[in-house]
């Protein structure tokens, strides 16, 4: 009996709670996973350390951390030290929005996928507890999938790219329950926008609040280490 | 009389013949230009030196060179030294194709545009003498314009992004005639995939052949300096 090769998938891995859950789901679905992290000048560099730990723990086929000078553009509290990370929710699209971030991330994932011969891209966007980011909505994901067909050698030659966003309709609590089922150690993840060098969370920013509330609603003990 | 502010545009500037012509066209159309170059591990780094010279000569409002580790992915003769740049045309999509390159470049331009409050992006793709790259076709540009609306804060709030690809239906000779009309000094540009550190061209690669043929057909003396 010939062993069938597992299909390859590129999984965007930030080091946060959502993306590591996506990685576990991709593995469960039988994909050979290639994790991609972006070092885009984010303040919370502890995320990248977490991404490396999580990629190792998930035994991915390869993990790449690509440097990208997004911070050069400014305009977001996540990359521009002149803009403060707010410690309370504000209406509308928040200052932590990084312009066109998921478009850039998916484009890079698409480039690597083409080189690998992978047709499946995974991203941990979430339209429920999404903090108001436009590039976390289902219509954005659908538009990117269409673009991928037209943008690539593989697409032109008839292949079909699929952008998987398995968390898109889940609440944070539902994501956490999925992760617990899959055996994820969420203590290893960093979500905080203002985490310190060791990855300890501030407990006050948007990301911290959403995460803490998720654990509370899920009825799961919050393993986050706070400053 | 109040002086009307010029609309801003982000112009992708590679340092080659096409993109500098696009920059001149954007200026002629009355845009205040912000030039964006990507340092993506391309072999022909002389391109970036050319981009800096050309941005200065065009008196752009700002010029950013963003570093991007595309070379980490390999898979293209332009970023992977293990793949030779061919010295003759081959059928199909060539090895100089950089996976998802224009998707990545436009995504970054979109991010900067959002920060600047610009709605217009210019890119020098060309579907006639396009070397067979899928992301140089009109349907790709249209799909990206749709994506930009859905991907961004500005788009969600009702603004309209426009992706300008003014060369898309021009032959290389027609592009050169436009550039001559606009007073461009093409001796300052670098198109060659294998240019040396001083920007001297090999004369044999796909890009060199297309360029030389363009000058010949346009009836313009070729100012390119060859090795």
Going from the C-alpha of A152 to that of each of A85, A134, B22, the distances in angstroms are: 37, 24, 23
pLDDT-based confidence at residue A99 (cuts at 50, 70, 90): confident
In angstroms and rounded to an integer, the radius of gyration of the C-alpha atoms of chain A is 17
Q: Are strands B8-12 and B120-122 parallel, antiparallel or unpaired?
A: parallel
How many angstroms separate the CA atoms of A101 and B65, rounded?
18
Q: B30: which 2 tokens?
A: 């009355």
Question: Mind telling me how many Å the CA of B152 is from chain A's nearest CA?
Answer: 6
pLDDT digits (tens, 9 = 90+) for A7-42: 999 999 999 999 999 999 999 999 999 999 998 876
Q: B206, B132, B222, B134: which is closest to B173 by C-alpha?
A: B222
Size of interface A-B (CB pairs under 8 A): 142
| Closest-approach residue (CA) in chain B for A147 | B143
CB distance A73–B155 less than 8 Å? no
Specify the DSSP class assigned to residue A188.
G
Q: B16, B10, B4: which is closest to B32 by C-alpha?
A: B10
- pLDDT score, position A178: 97
Question: Can you list the alpha helix ranges (DSSP code H) found in chain A?
Answer: 17-28, 46-57, 101-116, 138-151, 153-156, 172-181, 206-218
Indicate which of A127, A144, A150, A158 best probes the interface with B, i.e. most B CBs within 10 Å of its own CB: A150
- What 3-state DSSP class applies to A134? helix
Question: Mind telling me how many Å the CA of A69 is from chain B's nearest CA?
Answer: 5
pLDDT-based confidence at residue A4 (cuts at 50, 70, 90): confident
The better pLDDT of the pair A126, B122 is held by B122
Indicate which of B36, B107, B109 best probes the interface with A, i.e. most A CBs within 10 Å of its own CB: B107
Instruction: Provide, as residue numbers in chain B, all residues whose Cβ is less than 8 Å from the Cβ of A93.
Output: 153, 156
- pLDDT score, position B92: 54
CATH code, residues B8-218: 3.40.50.620
How do the pLDDT tens digits run along chain B, 227 residues long? 566 789 999 999 999 999 999 999 999 999 999 999 998 876 667 889 999 999 999 999 999 998 887 777 766 555 555 555 555 554 555 555 677 889 999 999 999 999 899 999 999 998 875 557 888 899 999 999 999 999 998 888 899 999 999 999 999 999 999 999 999 999 999 888 888 888 899 998 888 998 999 999 999 999 998 98
Question: Mind telling me how many Å the CA of B139 is from chain A's nearest CA?
Answer: 7
How many angstroms separate the CA atoms of B186 and A209, rounded?
56
Q: A100, A140, A54: which is closest to B66 by C-alpha?
A: A100
> Per mean pLDDT, which range of A5-9, A210-214, A220-224, B87-91 is the poorest?
B87-91
- pLDDT score, position B86: 54
Output the furthest CA–CA distance in chain B (Å, rounded).
61
- pLDDT score, position B192: 87
Instruction: Provide, as residue numbers in chain B, all residues whose Cβ is less than 8 Å from the Cβ of A108.
Output: 70, 100, 104
Indicate which of A69, A74, A83, A99 best probes the interface with B, i.e. most B CBs within 10 Å of its own CB: A99
pLDDT over 60 (residue A81): no
Q: Using an 8 Å Cβ cutoff, are A122 and A105 in contact?
A: no
Structural element, H or E, at residue A34 = strand A32-39
Q: Using an 8 Å Cβ cutoff, are B101 and B85 in contact?
A: no
pLDDT-based confidence at residue A93 (cuts at 50, 70, 90): low
Interface of A with B in 35-94 (CB under 8 A): 64, 66-70, 72-75, 93
pLDDT digits (tens, 9 = 90+) for A47-77: 899 999 999 999 999 999 988 877 777 665 5
pLDDT over 80 (residue A168): yes
CB distance A104–B102 less than 8 Å? no
Q: Using an 8 Å Cβ cutoff, are B15 and B49 in contact?
A: yes
pLDDT-based confidence at residue A97 (cuts at 50, 70, 90): low
> Per mean pLDDT, which range of A126-135, A185-194, B14-23, B198-207 is the poorest?
A126-135
Instruction: Provide, as residue numbers in chain B, all residues whose Cβ is less than 8 Å from the Cβ of A70.
Output: 66, 108, 111
Closest by Cβ to A111, choosing from B73, B93, B139: B73
Count CA atoms closer than 13 A to B211's CA, side-chain side: 23
Q: Does B98 touch chain A (CB under 8 A)?
A: yes
């Amino acid at each position: 009996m010939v062993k069938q090769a597992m299909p390859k998938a590129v999984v965007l891995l930030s080091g946060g709670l959502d993306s590591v859950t996506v990685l576990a789901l991709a593995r469960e679905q039988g994909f050979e996973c290639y994790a991609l992290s972006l070092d885009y000048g984010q303040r919370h560099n502890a995320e990248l350390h977490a991404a490396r730990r999580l990629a190792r723990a998930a035994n991915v086929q390869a993990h790449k951390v690509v440097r990208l000078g997004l911070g050069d553009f400014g305009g977001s509290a996540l990359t521009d030290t002149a803009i403060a990370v707010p410690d309370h929710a504000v209406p509308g699209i928040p200052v932590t929005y990084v312009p066109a971030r998921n478009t850039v991330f998916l484009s890079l994932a698409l480039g690597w996928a083409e080189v690998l011969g992978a047709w499946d891209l995974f991203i941990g966007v979430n339209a429920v507890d999404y903090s108001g980011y436009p590039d976390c909505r289902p219509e954005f994901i659908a538009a990117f999938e269409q673009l991928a067909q037209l943008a690539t050698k593989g697409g032109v030659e008839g292949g079909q790219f699929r952008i998987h966003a398995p968390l898109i309709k889940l609440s944070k609590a539902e994501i956490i329950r999925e992760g617990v089922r899959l055996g994820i150690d969420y203590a290893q993840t960093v979500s905080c926008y203002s985490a310190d060098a060791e990855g300890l969370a501030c407990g006050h920013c948007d990301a911290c609040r959403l995460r803490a509330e998720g654990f509370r609603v899920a009825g799961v003990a919050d393993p986050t280490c706070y400053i």
